C-alpha cells in the first residue's frame, strides 16, 4: 500500500495569488494524478504526472493555470495560479500501484482551497 | 466516450433497511470497476473493486457489488444499513492500460434515517 500526505491540508487565498500544493508518497510510484473536487461534485482529473516527462493535462485544464512538477518518484507539486473564487475546491493527489493483475489507486487526504 | 454514470443523486434509507446504489459504465471493453466512499470531511476510501472472474464482489464494511455485463452495471448493495454509512458514494472505472485514468461517476449521496 501507499500512504500519501498533502500540504497544506487547507488554505484560504486571495484572488490573483497562487498556491502550490505538495504531495508526498511513502514509496516510489510511477504514475501520479491530480484531481479536483468542486463543492458538492465528483472528482475530475486535472492531469497525470509521470516522473521524467511532462504532465498530461485533461481537457479543460492547462499548464499555465495548473503547472505540475514531478522531480522524483515520491513527490509532486500542483500549483493553482492566478486564483479566482471558481478555483475553490478540494485538490487530491493520487498514485497508482499496478502490475499484472494488481491495480490499486490510493488517494491523499486532499487540500481544501478557498479563494476569496 | 468512456463514462461512468450514477443515476441517483441522493438516496435516503432507514437504518436497518437494505441498500442498492446504481452504477452504469460505458467502455469499449470490460473495465476495472471500483466503489469508493467519502464521508464528510474525509478522504476517499475504497470499498471494493472488480477486475474479472466472480461477478459478485465482497468489500469492506459489509458491502458487496455485482457486475452485470449485459446491463453494463456494477451496483453496490448492503443488506442492512447503519447510520454511519451516511456518506457520498462514487463508482469509478478504468481500462487496465499503463497510462489510462480512473473516471469517476457523479456520486450518490446517502442519508440514513434513524
CB atoms within 10 A of CB B88: 19
pLDDT of residue A30: 84
Please report whether residue A40 resides in a domain: yes
Please report whether residue A103 resides in a domain: no
For residue A29, the chain B residues in CB contact (below 8 A) are: none
Q: What is the pLDDT of residues B29-84, one digit of tens each?
A: 888 999 999 987 778 899 999 988 889 999 999 999 999 999 999 999 999 999 99
**Helix or strand or coil: residue B69?**
helix
pLDDT of residue A98: 73
- Interchain contact, A44 vs B96, CB within 8 Å: no
Question: Is a pLDDT exceeding 90 seen at residue A38?
Answer: yes
pLDDT of residue B33: 93
Residue A109 is placed in which grid cell?
Answer: 487526504
Please report whether residue A3 resides in a domain: no
pLDDT of residue B31: 87
Question: Is a pLDDT exceeding 90 seen at residue B99?
Answer: no
- Across the range A11-29, mean pLDDT stands at 96
**Helix or strand or coil: residue B4?**
strand
- Interchain contact, B105 vs A44, CB within 8 Å: no
Please choose, from the candidates B112, B54, B110, B68, the residue with its C-alpha nearest in 3D space to the C-alpha of residue B87: B110
Phi/psi of residue A110, nearest 5 degrees: 95, 155
Overall number of domains in chain A: 1
Residue of B96, B104, B105 lying closest to A103 (CB–CB): B96
Phi/psi of residue A79, nearest 5 degrees: -110, 130
Please choose, from the candidates A26, A28, A14, A4, the residue with its C-alpha nearest in 3D space to the C-alpha of residue A78: A4
| Maximum distance among all Cα pairs of chain B, rounded to whole angstroms | 45
Residues A69 and A54: their CA atoms lie apart, in Å, by 8
Burial of A82 (0-12, 13-18, 19+ CB in 10 A): exposed
pLDDT of residue B83: 95
CATH number of the domain that residue B70 is part of: 2.60.40.10
CA count, 13 A, side-chain hemisphere, A86: 3
For residue B51, the chain A residues in CB contact (below 8 A) are: 101, 103
Question: Is a pLDDT exceeding 80 seen at residue A115?
Answer: yes
Overall number of domains in chain B: 1
Residues B1 and B100: their CA atoms lie apart, in Å, by 13
- Across the range A36-64, mean pLDDT stands at 91
Its domain, for residue B94, covers 3-113
CATH number of the domain that residue A56 is part of: 2.60.40.10
Question: Is a pLDDT exceeding 60 seen at residue B98?
Answer: no
Contact yes or no for A66/A46 (Cβ under 8 A): yes
Residue of A43, A58, A110 lying closest to B104 (CB–CB): A43
Residues 6+ apart with CB under 8 A from A24: A4, A5, A6, A7, A74, A75
Its domain, for residue A60, covers 10-96
Please report whether residue A47 resides in a domain: yes
B102 close to A (CB below 8 A): yes
**Bridge-based pairing state of the strands B108-113 and B10-14:** parallel
Q: What is the pLDDT of residues A76-100, one digit of tens each?
A: 999 999 999 999 999 999 998 776 6
Burial of A29 (0-12, 13-18, 19+ CB in 10 A): buried
Amino acid at each position: 500500500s501507499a500512504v500519501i500526505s498533502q500540504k497544506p491540508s487547507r488554505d484560504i487565498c486571495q484572488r490573483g495569488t497562487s498556491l502550490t500544493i505538495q504531495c508526498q508518497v511513502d514509496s516510489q510510484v510511477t504514475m501520479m494524478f491530480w484531481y479536483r473536487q468542486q463543492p458538492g461534485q465528483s472528482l475530475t482529473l486535472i492531469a497525470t504526472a509521470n516522473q521524467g516527462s511532462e504532465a498530461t493535462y485533461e481537457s479543460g485544464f492547462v499548464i499555465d493555470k495548473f503547472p505540475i512538477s514531478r522531480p522524483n518518484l515520491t513527490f509532486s507539486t500542483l500549483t493553482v495560479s492566478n486564483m479566482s473564487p471558481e478555483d475553490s475546491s478540494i485538490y487530491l493527489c493520487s498514485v497508482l500501484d499496478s502490475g499484472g493483475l494488481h491495480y490499486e489507486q490510493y488517494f491523499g487526504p486532499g487540500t481544501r482551497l478557498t479563494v476569496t | 466516450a468512456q463514462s461512468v454514470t450514477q443515476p441517483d443523486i441522493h438516496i435516503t434509507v432507514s437504518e436497518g433497511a437494505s441498500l442498492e446504489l446504481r452504477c452504469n459504465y460505458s467502455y469499449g471493453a470490460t473495465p476495472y470497476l471500483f466503489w469508493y466512499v467519502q464521508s464528510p470531511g474525509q478522504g476517499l476510501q475504497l470499498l471494493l473493486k472488480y477486475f474479472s472472474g466472480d461477478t459478485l464482489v465482497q468489500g469492506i464494511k459489509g458491502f458487496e457489488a455485482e457486475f452485470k455485463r449485459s446491463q453494463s452495471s456494477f451496483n453496490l448493495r448492503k443488506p442492512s444499513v447503519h447510520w454511519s454509512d451516511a456518506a457520498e458514494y462514487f463508482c469509478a472505472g478504468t481500462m487496465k492500460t499503463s497510462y489510462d485514468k480512473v473516471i469517476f461517476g457523479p456520486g450518490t449521496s446517502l442519508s440514513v434515517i434513524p
